Amino acid sequence: MEPNRYQRTVRKVLEQKADREASRLNRILDLNDTLLQKAALAAEQLDRKMITHKRKVKTAEKLQDGTWTETTTEDEILDVVDAPLDRQGIKLLASALKDLNDIAKVADSGKDESLAKARELLEGLPSAID
């Protein structure tokens, strides 16, 4: 195999690997953005509580033939009310934010290392080809 062909193959493989890694990191960062939006929404809702009002009514009727029938009616109403801050919710939210921060640090450091290494290898190839 001639050197130019080999060099082009190596370059192409490295470019594809760098593209896959960049795509992976973009997905991680997109996921971080989505989770951060959800965390912001959760922070806004920490002082609210959902209350469920349930009502169950049973009625019994005696039919003309002497048998009884029973009818059950259930109603459920959801209501959102202001409530004291949920301390457990705050702890969970803080933990989620810490995890997001850790993921972002790992993604950023991995991105720099991976892309720097790929860039170094790619920059070294043209001099070898010439």
Kindly report, residue by residue over 42-68, the tens digit of the pLDDT. 777 777 888 899 999 999 998 888 899
Judging by beta carbons within 10 Å of its beta carbon (0-12, 13-18, 19+), is residue 103 exposed, middle or buried?
middle
> Which pLDDT score, from 0 to 100, does residue 75 have?
94
Place of tokens 């009884």: 68
Give the residue ranges of DSSP H helices in 45-86. Answer: none
pLDDT exceeding 70 applies to what percent of the chain?
A: 75
Q: What is each CA distance from 2 to 5, 6, 12, 14, in whole angstroms?
A: 6, 6, 16, 19
Q: Which residues contact 66 (CB under 8 A, 6 or more apart)?
A: none
> Which pLDDT score, from 0 to 100, does residue 58 have?
94
End-to-end Cα, the chain, rounded Å: 17
H or E element, residue 79: strand 68-82
| DSSP symbol at 47 | T
129/68: higher pLDDT: 68
| Single pTM value for the model | 0.43
* pLDDT for residue 73 is more than 90: yes
Please tell me whether residue 72 adopts helix, strand or coil conformation. Answer: strand
